[in-house]
Amino acid sequence: MPPGAKGGAEGLDPSCSELHDNEEITPDIIAPSLSLFQRCYRHLKSSGVGEASVYHALVVIFLEFFAWGLLTMPIISVLNETFPDHTFLMNGLIMGIKGLLSFLSAPLIGALSDVWGRKFFLLITVAFTCAPIPLMSINTWWFFAMISISGVFACTFSVVFAYVADVTEESQRSLAYGLVSATFAASMVISPALGAWTMTVYGENLAVALATAIAVLDVFFILVAVPESLPEKARPPVPISWEQADPFAALGKVGKDHTILMLCVTVFLSYLPEAGQYSCIFVYLKLAMGFSAVMVAVFIAIVGILSVGAQILLGPLMKTLGSKHTIMLGLLFEMLQLMWYGFGSQTWMMWAAGVLASVSSITYPAISAFVSMHSDADKQGLVQGMVTGMRGLCNGLGPAMFGVIFYLFHVDLNDETPSLPLKPSFLEDSNQTGTTIHIDVVPQLVPGPPFVFGALLVICALLVAAFIPDETSPMATGPLHHHSSTSRRPSGKYAYQKCLSLDVHFEPERIVSGRSKVGPLSPLVDNCNSAAL
């Protein structure tokens, strides 16, 4: 029974508070528990501070990733201590399982949030994603096992983007998505450095305790301060079906829309190497490029600050270039930074690649803004869930792909790997026995082969993105939107001249007080002062 469904007793019957061994479970016994759950759910929906806004979502994202950012350096040490012989491969396996589970569950979470509301699933996703944090000080095996299992609910971005879509106008949505990504980057500016300093000065346990406290604060903030963003009247009138929740069936449905299909392929080809890079870049900088823990923390902070600036500029970029060309610009910078990581053999090259990486962070929010314009108001969670699920699949395949390529090129990223020379070399034995040991560290020509392969995938993504239409075809009749009229929507600067609306054709009308009213997603270009995505 859905949480919002009516039924069952309104109070708890003391006679049903306990079950005896020989007592059958009847509807009269189950009803009080369901009624209690319904009352808790109704209270959860009605709680919150002020009107639903983008700022509520920003706080949720900031606290969650700040908590995990504190553990950036401690996790590297714990991972190596737990799996000393296969550090990098185990990292890929753990992240791979988490990513696969996220891919399978993201459409279901998104579709359920369309029916039951965003707040409940914000609470669930944040709580389960942060659940492994305290286990790091208790049992490292359980810690990594819980990280893998938490992928079932690792869909916070999916729900957050749907939340943002509920509370923003179409003309402001790209800016709002940019703020979400900028907040994520801002959470990583100081948290890795703070976590590394806390671990060095006070020990690993205090860093874990601090991260746990911030995660608990995030959950408490959702419970008390976050209001529901999706009103009852904007939700689908019928419950979801298994077809909606099936990630492969949903992929097939998305595939019927040519534009959405190309965007999903672009996400897959571009995020596959990005996920692999995220899984190993800090380890790569520390163990292969010779970065100290302080240098890694400063690197993350600088890239985070620059990423915030890039996200702030996302709105003006979308208005000036249009969504398609903004996506392609982000992909171009992603390809360049992967090439720098792959061929770079000097420290300054890594810093330059980090600058390029910060600019490439505009790609995903630009894609999310474009996707949101091609979906109905009551399918925002489903469509954003599919895009997030695609990223989840990449989160599983990307780390494994990078690990295999590192293995094939004889690059083993663990604490036993010397980080001084970036080519085959001869090192003296640390025991000063006079024995010369040959260490095959990193190929001289291509120090980072997985990054080069990832750059080739991004080039493919660029080619696919080039065929994304600048305007919506009048014949588009995909399942994610309604029929278009014969009007064609120009993109970029020409939108100011024509002032044609895209999402007028996509928005379902609602009957409010006997009058026809457009759904919660307003038209993108409703006057000559608005810009087209």
In a domain, 479, yes or no: no
Are 374 and 508 part of one and the same domain? no
Are 373 and 306 part of one and the same domain? yes
Q: Considering its fold, how many domains does the chain have in total?
A: 3
361 Ramachandran zone, left/alpha/beta (phi>0; psi -120 to 50): alpha
109, 449, 453, 491, 531 from 411: Cα distances, Å: 38, 9, 15, 46, 48
Are 37 and 54 part of one and the same domain? no
Over residues 44-61, mean pLDDT = 79
Q: What is the pLDDT of residue 113?
A: 81
In a domain, 5, yes or no: yes
In a domain, 437, yes or no: no
Q: What is the pLDDT of residue 336?
A: 94
In a domain, 471, yes or no: no
Please report, for the domain that includes residue 102, its CATH number.
Answer: 1.20.1250.20
Are 410 and 495 part of one and the same domain? no
The percent of residues above 90 in pLDDT, for the chain, comes to 14
Are 119 and 264 part of one and the same domain? yes
Are 70 and 1 part of one and the same domain? no
Q: What is the pLDDT of residue 35?
A: 58
Contact 500, 487 (CB under 8 A): yes
Are 57 and 39 part of one and the same domain? no
User: Is this model's pTM higher than 0.75 or not?
Assistant: no
Q: In the chain, helix, strand, coil percent, each to 5?
A: 65, 5, 30
Residue 510: φ, ψ to 5°: -115, 145
List, for residues 322-343, the tens digit of each pLDDT value. 888 889 999 999 999 999 988 8
Where is pLDDT greater, at 363 or 505? 363
Contact 385, 111 (CB under 8 A): yes
Question: Three-class SS of residue 511?
Answer: strand
Identify the domain containing residue 500 by its residue range: 488-533
In a domain, 265, yes or no: yes
> Which band of pLDDT confidence, cut at 50, 70 and 90, is reported for residue 145?
confident
Are 119 and 148 part of one and the same domain? yes
- Residue 316: CB atoms within 10 A of its CB come to 14
Q: What is the pLDDT of residue 463?
A: 94
Over residues 196-222, mean pLDDT = 92
In a domain, 477, yes or no: no
Are 510 and 361 part of one and the same domain? no
Question: Could you say which DSSP state residue 426 is in?
Answer: E
146, 303, 330, 334 from 326: Cα distances, Å: 37, 20, 6, 12
Over residues 423-438, mean pLDDT = 42
In a domain, 423, yes or no: no
For 349-391, give the DSSP string.
HHHHHHHHHHHHTTHHHHHHHHHHHTS-GGGHHHHHHHHHHHH
Least confident of 29-38, 468-477, 508-517: 508-517
Are 37 and 51 part of one and the same domain? no
Which helix (H) or strand (E) segment holds residue 427: the answer is strand 425-428
